[in-house]
């Protein structure tokens, strides 16, 4: 190369390239800032409704500075030369909660009303795939007007892709849905497929067909809140697992729930140091539970006594309240607690309680969370409606869930345990690993009074003094077949314990069972009752 072919001034050319790169970086920063900030008027409208924006929600949910966004610049072209807003109405990515990795997507109602279109769905599909691949919990913050009508069937296909991934992730990673606005039509099926659904009163609305459609088809007039509000789904339909008065409290409890769950189905139940001694006795329990099986009490007070620092997270608190399901820590280990609630319908099992308990048992078993069952049950709820609506089928769901569970299972019979309900509430005969009973326990086919009425019906009818004879027969039946040591003598209860030792005994039992591993015959899947 001759001297004339050499670049005459290489320094200015390099400077021009550097300046061009800096210009692109500055432009990138500006575009990113505008994409993140969004439309100010839309933000004001969101705040005026008492709602946070998608990014504000993620900031509250995730650890400070932990969020890594994915697909910020993704958008759908709305015409030959124009393009829609960045993000396409959903913010996706990953962050941490209490230092543990989670993946999340938050629909942004400020952009296209959070409606789901092809690119919007593709972003959600991607973050769901990443969550499954990474073995990390997936959190969905729903605030959407539904399918983007302008995109036709591609929007519906987008929902199908979400549902398919919900099912693929089921029992593999925890899936949490948070409803923070409308969630209507086909969109409502995704929360129904996840493990937990959070809703906020006066803000969250979820239904398949809205008030206008119902008015047209059936003539019924109903508001959004009456049809699919948070309290309706918490107390009546059982769709909402948790319900709150504001978004901040809702998101705080999502963080708490994450701390109680493993990241995936390969991890064991989380264990942490709580500072509550595992050998702490609970002498108050003897006073909380009356010896008379007909006197009600609040089982939640019993759970408060035995749980670490009295803390537990009740699942479906407002639905099927005759059965309490809760996540708590015992000796630092997360456990699932099922307990009959004597202050609601005397703690009987019915259709709703059976459904609630079955789903909870299956969730705990899927994520290796040990089960502790506190029993004080008079039986199944009698009645024509219960029979016609399928109490046999629904009760069998709870029975199936317990029989199918391979996690450590500890049963504690506090007071009465009668009939088929005793069997279903994780008795030794269906696979409980260890069973304990308080010294006031009564385990039998039915209560002594009812049993005597059946067995000695003719004798009582012919007696000169039936009341005196009935009292004597009840005393004899109780002494012979219902005394506190009848079941232990036959190996159906492992030990009769002092109520004050309940916490200590259960924690030791869980330690003993901590290395339990399932040994199942291979099969594609079971066929549980519908």
Active site positions, annotated: 185-186, 420-421
Q: Is 68 helix (H, G, I), strand (E, B) or coil?
A: strand
Q: What are phi and psi of 385, to 5 degrees?
A: -60, -45
Nearest-CA neighbor of 437 among 481, 378, 373, 364?
373
CA distance 49 to 71: 28
For the record, the structure tokens of 368 come out as 């290796």
Residue 439 and residue 112: Cα distance in Å, rounded?
63
Token pair in block for residue 281: 């006795």
- Picking from 523, 431, 437, the residue whose alpha carbon sits closest to that of residue 484 is 437
Q: Distance between CA 416 and CA 251 in Å, rounded?
A: 39
The residue behind tokens 């849905």 is 177
Helices (H), 325-465: 351-366, 384-388, 391-404, 419-424, 448-455, 457-462
DSSP track, 175-204: EEEEE-SEEEGGGGHHHHHSSEEEEETTT-
- CA dist., res. 410 & res. 428, Å (int): 9
């Amino acid at each position: 190369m001759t001297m004339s072919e050499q670049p005459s001034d290489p320094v200015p050319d390099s400077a021009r390239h550097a300046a061009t790169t800096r210009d692109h970086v500055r432009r990138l920063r500006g575009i990113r800032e505008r994409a993140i900030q969004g439309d100010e008027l839309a933000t004001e409208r969101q705040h005026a409704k008492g709602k946070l924006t998608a990014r504000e929600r993620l900031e509250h949910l995730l650890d400070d500075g932990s969020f890594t966004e994915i697909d910020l610049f993704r958008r759908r072209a709305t015409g030959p030369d124009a393009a829609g807003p960045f993000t396409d109405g959903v913010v996706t990515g990953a962050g941490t909660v209490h230092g543990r990795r989670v993946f999340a997507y938050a629909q942004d109602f400020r952009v296209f009303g959070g409606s789901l279109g092809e690119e919007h769905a593709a972003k959600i599909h991607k973050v769901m795939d990443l969550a499954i691949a990474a073995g990390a919990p997936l959190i969905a913050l729903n605030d959407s007007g539904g399918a983007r009508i302008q995109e036709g069937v591609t929007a519906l296909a987008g929902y199908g892709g979400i549902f398919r991934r919900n099912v693929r992730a089921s029992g593999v990673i925890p899936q949490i849905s948070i409803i923070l606005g409308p969630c209507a039509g086909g969109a409502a099926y995704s929360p129904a497929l996840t493990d937990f659904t959070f809703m906020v009163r006066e803000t969250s609305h979820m239904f398949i067909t809205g008030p206008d459609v119902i008015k047209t088809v059936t003539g019924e007039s109903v508001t959004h809140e009456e049809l699919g509000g948070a309290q309706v789904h918490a107390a009546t339909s059982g769709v909402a697992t948790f319900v709150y008065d504001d978004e901040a409290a809702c998101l705080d409890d999502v963080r708490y729930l994450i701390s109680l769950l493993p990241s995936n189905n390969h991890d064991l139940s989380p264990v942490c140091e709580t500072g509550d001694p595992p050998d702490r006795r609970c002498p108050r329990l003897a006073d909380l539970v009356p010896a008379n099986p007909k006197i009600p009490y609040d089982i939640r007070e019993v759970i408060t006594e035995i749980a670490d620092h009295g803390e537990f997270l009740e699942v479906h608190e407002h639905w099927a309240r005759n059965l309490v399901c809760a996540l708590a820590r015992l000796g630092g280990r997360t456990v699932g607690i099922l307990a009959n609630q004597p202050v609601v319908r005397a703690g009987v099992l019915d259709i709703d309680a059976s459904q609630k308990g079955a789903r909870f048992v299956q969730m705990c078993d899927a994520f290796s969370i040990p089960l502790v069952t506190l029993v004080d049950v008079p039986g199944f709820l009698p009645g024509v409606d219960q029979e016609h609506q399928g109490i046999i089928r629904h009760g069998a769901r709870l029975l199936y869930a317990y029989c199918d569970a391979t996690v450590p299972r500890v049963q504690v019979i506090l007071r009465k345990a009668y009939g088929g309900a005793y069997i279903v509430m994780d008795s030794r005969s269906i696979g409980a690993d260890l069973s304990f009973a308080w010294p006031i326990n009564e385990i039998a086919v039915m209560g002594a009074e009812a049993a005597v009425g059946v067995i000695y019906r003719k004798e009582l009818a012919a007696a000169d003094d039936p009341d005196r004879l009935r009292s004597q027969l009840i005393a004899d039946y109780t002494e012979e077949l219902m005394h506190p040591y009848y079941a232990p003598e036959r190996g159906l209860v492992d030990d009769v314990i002092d109520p004050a030792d309940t916490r200590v005994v259960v924690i030791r039992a869980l330690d003993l069972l901590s290395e339990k591993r399932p040994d199942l015959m291979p099969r594609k899947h079971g066929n549980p009752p519908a």
